[in-house]
Amino acid sequence: MKEFLFVFRGDWNSLPEVSEEETKSRTKKWMDWVGGIAAQNKLVTKGNRLMHHGKIVKKNLVTDGPFIEMKEFIGGFSIVKANSYDEAVELANGCPVLLMGGEVEVREINAF
């Protein structure tokens, strides 16, 4: 089996405030989705959220970033196992981020 990286992207700044009940509902959708992948023994790492701040490293230069003003940014990632891109895309297609207007970038990991 191959490993694939799911990168969760979205315009998080445009999401409306939600109630605590809606937050719990969204969390349950994520847990159910990740649990479904784990039940198939295809989960390598669970979905991890990323903080909104970080550093960008270039040759001889370190700057703050990514910047929250960006329209779209990476909110988290997971690594899954699948036999093909098609299978990985099928797994990604159930991701709750899609219900919030986000997207999942699917990238094969080159294990050398």
Chain centroid offset of residue 75 CA: 6
What residue has token string 């979205």?
A: 10
Q: Report d(CA 42, CA 27) in Å as an integer.
A: 20
Q: Residue 104 class from Cβ within 10 Å (0-12 exposed, 13-18 middle, 19+ buried)? A: buried
What residue has token string 């895309």?
A: 89
Q: Report d(CA 32, CA 95) in Å as an integer.
A: 10
- Residue 66 · residue 25 · CB < 8 Å: no
**Beta pairing class for 55-58 and 61-64:** antiparallel
Q: Quick one: pLDDT at residue 32?
A: 95
Q: Quick one: pLDDT at residue 73?
A: 74
Q: Quick one: pLDDT at residue 69?
A: 54
Q: Quick one: pLDDT at residue 65?
A: 65
| SS3 call for 101 | coil
pLDDT tens series, the chain, 112 aa: 999 999 998 876 666 787 889 889 988 999 999 999 999 999 998 777 777 777 778 888 887 766 555 566 788 899 999 999 999 999 999 999 998 888 999 999 997 7
Per DSSP, the chain holds a count of helices (H) and strands (E) of 2, 6
